[in-house]
Structure 1
């Protein structure tokens, strides 16, 4: 909650502007509300905009940047009801890493705090795979989040680990695992290598001993993309 409050403060500098875009999907009242005070935008309208493809808007990056506080708080608390990986893809399209430093730093603080909170709480409001996918795609980096998981020796972290393994081992999805709504991040080599080395002694799943996985890991290392 502390970093979410800090996020609100950081983005308070984003002032309203005249929002224009697809008048087939959004009426004059919708555009007027999006152009007004952030706190007065209806939840259903905000959720719709959070999920829509960028070409609905004449200035998508600016609109999405302004909506970030209204999107992120319900996202991390499990109340947004939009695929978390879709939000990651939208943030990337909006170029969030190119925004002014106070804004990007506030978002990075949210990712870190959300990930730590996830590893200390089970069950959490958002499944661990969804959290991991969002922070990975948003930052274009998986290994730092895995390293944090390795260093976090809590019962919650280990239960999340078992959940993740059970999820990604279904029909051996782990052998071609892509994160992001559009599969932007190919995670097989890093995630499988991590599971078979750093975390093998922390998960009791005999499927990880299948020789096919080791061969797949070697192949993924040779052809990471």
Structure 2
């Protein structure tokens, strides 16, 4: 089975698992959505308009009387277009909302179905270049959602494909600007401070696969090493200022 087929299988399994989440009377902010909008969210999942799904997917939890239950219902309508790069809400915001909805504490069939999608999505991404969702956005979502970066980096390290290397080149272009490195906090609320761990990975596990002259510059390497040892809440810019 191809990686794409594995992702489709995982998404189909997600649909089946979340089919147990039946419609309920959704309560929330009538100023923002009105009674008509709440009625749409309370109806059959497949009849909820796309724009209402995306609006609810990005909305703050305080807008809803039962945010976790609403989010569980909407998961199939959110995740399938999201992994295809066809959702109108940023991946980082969806990751944050999933965490706020407590998805890791949901009943095992639901949480396991989502975990299987994360794994299949990551695998198909590393085998497809270009991918529908930029590599940094995909990495951010799975990292924040699972509260762990290293397992996803380990899979990337072990995936020695032209697509994986092309994504690696894209990531380096994305995070390095001249002789600076962007602050690599992940999640809409910067929940995950990935700078130190990601820099260490670039300089060790995959260094031989990165062709960028800046990584041969001793001064820049020293700067990156400082980032690796800096506290997680210290940004790259702050470390740079301390050097000046």
- Using structure 1 for the length normalisation, give the TM-score: 0.96
| 2:193 counterpart of 1:186 | yes
| 2:112 counterpart of 1:105 | yes
Q: 1:35 to 1:172 in 2, by over 3 A?
A: farther
| 2:29 counterpart of 1:22 | yes
| 2:157 counterpart of 1:150 | yes
Task: In structure 1, list runs of 5 or more residues that go unmatched.
Answer: none
Task: In structure 2, list runs of 5 or more residues that go unmatched.
Answer: 1-7, 234-244
Give the Å deviation of 1:176: 2.9
SS of the residue aligned with 1:204?
coil
2:199–2:228 contact (8 Å) kept in structure 1? no
Distance 1:109 1:28 in 2: 36
1:128–1:160 contact (8 Å) kept in structure 2? yes
| Match among 148, 164, 183 for residue 176 of structure 1 | 183
SS of the residue aligned with 2:30?
coil
- Using structure 2 for the length normalisation, give the TM-score: 0.88
2:18: which partner in 1?
11
| Match among 53, 63, 87 for residue 56 of structure 1 | 63
2:44: which partner in 1?
37
Once superposed, what is the RMSD of the aligned Cα atoms?
Answer: 1.4
Give the Å deviation of 1:174: 3.2
SS of the residue aligned with 2:198?
helix
2:220: which partner in 1?
212
1:175–1:213 contact (8 Å) kept in structure 2? no
2:10–2:113 contact (8 Å) kept in structure 1? yes
